[in-house]
Amino acid sequence: MRSAILSALTVSATAVSAVTYDYIVVGSGPGGGPLAADLSRAGYSTLLIEAGGDEGLNPTYDDIANFNEAANDEATRWDFWVKHSDDPVRDLKFKHNTWDTGAGTFYVGLDPPPGAKLLGIQYPRAGVLGGCAMHNGAVTTLPQDDDWNVIVNTTGDVSWEAGKMRRYLKEIERNDYLAAGNPAHGYDGWLSITAAPDVSWAKNDNLTGTKILKEVARLTGQDVSKVADLVSKDILEDVPNRDQVTSFYNMAQHSDSKGKRSSPNNYVRATLAEKKYPLTLKLHTLVTKVLFSNSTDGMAKAPPRAIGVEVMEGASLYRADPRSVPGGKGPVSQIFASKEVIVSGGAFNTPQILKLSGIGPRAELEKFGIPVIKDLPGVGERLADNYENSLLALANQTVDLPGLITMQFRTPSAVGKNRNFFTWCGNFIFQGFWPGFPGFAGPTQFTCAMLHIGPKSQSGSVRLRSADPRDVPDINFRFFEHGGAADLHEFVEAANLLRESWLAAGAPAAPFEELHPCPGRLAKGRAECSDAAQAEYFKTQVYSHHASSTAAIGGDNDPLAVLDSKFRVRGVNGLRVVDASAFPVVPGAFPVLPTMMISRKAAEDIIADAKKAAA
Ligand SMILES: Cc1cc2nc3c(=O)[nH]c(=O)nc-3n(C[C@H](O)[C@H](O)[C@H](O)COP(=O)(O)OP(=O)(O)OC[C@H]3O[C@@H](n4cnc5c(N)ncnc54)[C@H](O)[C@@H]3O)c2cc1C
Ligand SMILES: *[C@@H]1O[C@H](CO)[C@@H](O)[C@H](O)[C@H]1NC(C)=O
Ligand SMILES: *[C@@H]1O[C@H](CO)[C@@H](O)[C@H](O)[C@H]1NC(C)=O
Ligand SMILES: *[C@@H]1O[C@H](CO)[C@@H](O)[C@H](O)[C@H]1NC(C)=O
Ligand SMILES: *[C@@H]1O[C@H](CO)[C@@H](O)[C@H](O)[C@H]1NC(C)=O
């Protein structure tokens, strides 16, 4: 018999909620939102706590085409100002460094006005019901099989075998782009996934876009005569050796075929609307820490047990929120869970919440006077992200391309056999994040966005700046710390390949004036900027938005493991982490679908444990 001792809580003068829930889930993003809905649908009383509000019916969020506006919107924006390295001189070369010029105004660039205060590199997150799935580009891909299998290798838990993970996609998916009955897909889940309904443009050889497409096919060894079929290929297909295939695909998004965003927001609201599940949603509430009690297990002393959370109520309390005011505060209270607390605050906030609760590297906690519940050195470490950048040019005339060229491919020097790039090319601009992104270079702008899969370095960190839960932590990605030269070489290979394909465009789109990374007129035989110059460009200019691994699953003998394979925080009871922090490596090209898949897996694990305990 385990009995929680509630007497000696660290905070005793605060209000205590009259209701005790079975589960408390902190954060309603792709990790926490669906999990809370699933737990309540299984009959367990569940409290979902979200710092932000609900923008589900706001067209800025609901219409997927507005994703860039959504990510800039002050109604939900959380600005994290991050570092890319320990070298301030290197970071100052980043073109979109942001400076505070007072009264809520920014300067973005390399030549700040006198008196401007350096903020750093903007890394947007969404503080809102549904988390970053409410402002993201909604691109859905599966991780590489290795990204799942590595968990089997380190923990011995075969439930993570790649072949067993597709089930979670099928359970959550409501496929909106393939005829019913495709065995690789689900049709009854809560997450609509769609893809471009019409990619027939690729059949028209007159289009400049098709000329470029065919040249990319030629350069990557694909069948040039089949490009029109390849561009409609299912990006979530289930084929052997998928990770080794270089191919075009039809990009998929978590949206329905009418362009309405589909996200945990919809699932949580639908679960509440049915009025028959014990789900309680608390918006505009910042979780400030997890509460623990010492517990006993028979005669033996058991590890501390998570018994609830402390919260501060009010909108915009967190200082990443541009609307937060100095000294802003709200009433503090405690809410209790009889079974478990699940932290799903995302890759920046989850480690912060754990540390504020006394779970993290001892020295860091002691520095801020936080009583240590469990010394776990991996909390906030191993931060990793996919490197991203783009080729950007101005065409002489808008490129005829009524869609996107989407491709996953392998560059020649990639380690191993797996493809290492995701690219999408078209008449758009994407150069990373800053207040006001993405910019506009003119109606003839043409981009190939490049996303490097599988960074060799995972040396980033999320560390406390203070013990105040409203303060934003110090985030440093330490890009390229390990294997940097190899990753940069792969990046240059990808850029050179894609740039070469543009030479096939011909008039009237050509000539192209490249804006970056190699400014100048594109021409055959042109003395391009050197590979070394491009590598230096990418080293200082890559950006990212797929942060993961700051509370990672790992094996018993891994000193930096934070979770076991069932998402349980090591060394304490009743506490799990379910969000992008849990991945030991960045999951493939795009993390949002994998995060929703592990949310489903975690629901299954948690419900199984509850049934076992009740039996
Ligand atoms: C601009 C942008 C574009 C992106 N585009 C894509 C894309 O196209 N495809 C893709 O796969 N991925 C994309 N991503 C990444 C993807 O959206 C994230 O990986 C994913 O949302 C992570 O889910 P999560 O549950 O881990 O965290 P989050 O989505 O960050 O959710 C965490 C939630 O917890 C809440 N929270 C945090 N702390 C507290 C607290 N103390 N108290 C209460 N609530 C709290 C937050 O408000 C938030 O709602 C993008 C990300 C960004 C920022
Ligand atoms: C897992 O271990 C097996 C056997 O050692 C190895 O062949 C495989 O490459 C490993 N996979 C990953 C993803 O680490
Ligand atoms: C392509 O151009 C040729 C020559 O101008 C024209 O005859 C043909 O109809 C065009 N094809 C399409 C699909 O537009
Ligand atoms: C738990 O036990 C430790 C010592 O074992 C003690 O220092 C701490 O105050 C106790 N905490 C609670 C909440 O009872
Ligand atoms: C660019 O296009 C214009 C017509 O829009 C044409 O007059 C001009 O010659 C083109 N420039 C080049 C360098 O081909």
Same structural domain, 222 and 359: no
**CATH number assigned to the domain comprising residue 423:** 3.30.410
pLDDT band at 354 (very low <50, low <70, confident <90, very high): very high
Nearest ligand, measured from the Cα of 294: 4
**Distance between CA 231 and CA 216 in Å, rounded?**
12
Total number of domains constituting the chain: 3
Non-local CB neighbours of 287 within 8 Å, separated by 6+ positions: 26, 27, 49, 51, 309, 310, 311, 345, 353, 469
Question: Is residue 460 situated within a structural domain?
Answer: no
Question: Is ligand 1 within 6 A of the CB of residue 29?
Answer: yes
The predicted structure's pLDDT at residue 282: 98
Same structural domain, 351 and 427: no
Q: Which residue has the tokens 């490596």?
A: 585
Same structural domain, 374 and 511: no
**Distance between CA 529 and CA 44 in Å, rounded?**
60
Question: Is residue 348 situated within a structural domain?
Answer: yes
Written as six digits, the tokens of 337 are: 């869970």
Last residue of a domain, one of 515, 541, 567: 541
Same structural domain, 343 and 434: no
Question: Is ligand 1 within 6 A of the CB of residue 339?
Answer: no
Same structural domain, 412 and 518: yes
Question: Is residue 469 situated within a structural domain?
Answer: no
Cβ neighbours around 488 below 10 Å, total: 23
The predicted structure's pLDDT at residue 17: 85
d(CA 554, ligand 1 centre) in Å: 22
Residue 509 has pLDDT above 70, yes or no: yes
Question: Is residue 447 situated within a structural domain?
Answer: yes
Same structural domain, 329 and 281: yes
Same structural domain, 287 and 316: yes
Question: Is residue 80 situated within a structural domain?
Answer: no
Question: Is residue 468 situated within a structural domain?
Answer: no
The predicted structure's pLDDT at residue 18: 85
Same structural domain, 210 and 359: no
Non-local CB neighbours of 254 within 8 Å, separated by 6+ positions: 133, 138, 140, 191, 192, 193, 261, 262, 263, 592, 593
d(CA 4, ligand 4 centre) in Å: 12
Question: Is residue 252 situated within a structural domain?
Answer: no
d(CA 362, ligand 4 centre) in Å: 16
**Domain range for residue 329?**
2-6+18-61+133-150+264-380+550-614
Residue 279 has pLDDT above 50, yes or no: yes
Written as six digits, the tokens of 316 are: 């915009």
Residue 1 has pLDDT above 50, yes or no: no
CB 531 within 8 A of CB 517: no
pLDDT band at 309 (very low <50, low <70, confident <90, very high): very high
Annotated binding-site positions for FAD: 128, 136-139, 287
- In angstroms, the Cα distances linking 171 to 38, 188, 599 are 12, 7, 11
Question: Is residue 281 situated within a structural domain?
Answer: yes
**Distance between CA 429 and CA 442 in Å, rounded?**
9
Mean pLDDT of the residues in the chain: 95
Same structural domain, 143 and 42: yes
Same structural domain, 567 and 440: no
Q: Where are the alpha helices (DSSP H) in 344-482?
A: 346-356, 362-367
Last residue of a domain, one of 492, 514, 541: 541
What's the length of the chain? Answer: 615
- Read off the pLDDT of residues 61-116 as tens digits, 9 standing for 90 and up: 999 999 999 999 999 999 999 999 999 999 999 999 999 999 889 999 999 999 99
Question: Is ligand 3 within 6 A of the CB of residue 204?
Answer: yes
**CATH number assigned to the domain comprising residue 52:** 3.50.50.60
pLDDT band at 295 (very low <50, low <70, confident <90, very high): low
Mean pLDDT of 585-590: 98
Same structural domain, 425 and 497: yes
Written as six digits, the tokens of 206 are: 């007159």
The secondary structure element, H or E, covering residue 48 is strand 46-49
Same structural domain, 144 and 292: yes
Non-local CB neighbours of 183 within 8 Å, separated by 6+ positions: 238
